[in-house]
Amino acid sequence: MNDSLLSALAGLAAPAPATLPGRVFTGWTSAPSRLGDVFVAVTAHGVQFVRPAGSADEFAAAYRDRFDRPLRRLDRLPAGVGPALRGRAGRPPLDLHALSDFERDVLAATARIPAGQTRPYGWVAREAGRPRAVRAVGTVLARNPVPLLVPCHRVVRADGAAGDYMFGPARKDALLRDEGANLDEVAALARGGVHYLASDTTGIVCFPTCRDARRITPAHRHGFPTVAAAVAAGYRPCRTCRPAA
């Protein structure tokens, strides 16, 4: 994930003035993405929504009802949005001012998951500073206003299953495979009760999709069902993927 997205999310941590939502100009357009053509709503601050193609009429009606103003059709997206939607490195500005602090924290944590890697819902909850709000994280991600731009498809269930996805579980799986995620290996490990991998040369334990875990030489690789078990065996949690302590 690129730094500009992270800083954009961080910058939004401060609540916007209450008057802002009604004053911000909004337009929409359609754009090609990794999920096919999508509807994209944009304000002066950045992308506000990414939704399935065909959402325009419904969105425009809701917008008129709420703000008493027509929704303008745009002929182009802000710089960086198109490439980011198509899965290339981009610098998509985001407008998430309408979200709660919790929602922003959840999306910011999700944005830190590298392409091709996955993290459990519980990991996002902990990273967002609410370790027990696991189910609330699921609620937030189910309504992620900017899928793809904030990669909620990289958040999976703790038991190794993919979990649900707003565009369908099959799409979630396809997106992850397209990013090079080692889903088959992860599934095979999970079947054996292994959810973490450790290296006896570095003494570090990782999530199986962590780039560091994937470079562990087979002879030095050890599987564990929990981080606690790995720690008890003398390993410490990876600083990159931060598995639960």
Partner DNA sequence: ATGGTGACGCGTT
Partner DNA sequence: TAACGCGCCACCA
State the catalytic residues. Answer: 152
**Coil, strand or helix: which one is 116?**
coil
- CB-based burial, 68-95: b 16+ in 10 Å, e otherwise: eeebeebeebbebbbebbeeeebbbbbb
Q: Kindly list the distances between the CA atom of residue 217 and the CA atoms of 25, 53, 130, 234, in Å, as whole numbers in the listed order.
A: 54, 45, 35, 18
Q: How far is the CB of 74 from DNA (least distance, A)?
A: 25
Sheet strands (E) in 25-140: 26-31, 38-43, 46-52, 72-73, 119-120
Q: Kindly list the distances between the CA atom of residue 238 and the CA atoms of 100, 109, 185, 225, in Å, as whole numbers in the listed order.
A: 30, 17, 20, 16
Q: How far is the CB of 75 from DNA (least distance, A)?
A: 29
| CB closer to DNA, 158 vs 229 | 158
**Coil, strand or helix: which one is 97?**
coil
Rounded to whole angstroms, how far apart are CA atoms 36 and 31? 8
Cα angle value 9/75/143 (rounded, 5°): 35
| CB closer to DNA, 113 vs 137 | 137
Q: How far is the CB of 103 from DNA (least distance, A)?
A: 5
Q: How far is the CB of 141 from DNA (least distance, A)?
A: 4
| CB closer to DNA, 1 vs 74 | 1
| CB closer to DNA, 137 vs 238 | 137
Torsion sign across C-alpha atoms 238, 242, 243, 245: positive
Q: Which residues bind DNA (CB under 7 A)?
A: 100-103, 120-122, 130, 132-144, 147, 152, 155, 157-159, 163-166
| CB closer to DNA, 7 vs 139 | 139
Q: How far is the CB of 205 from DNA (least distance, A)?
A: 16
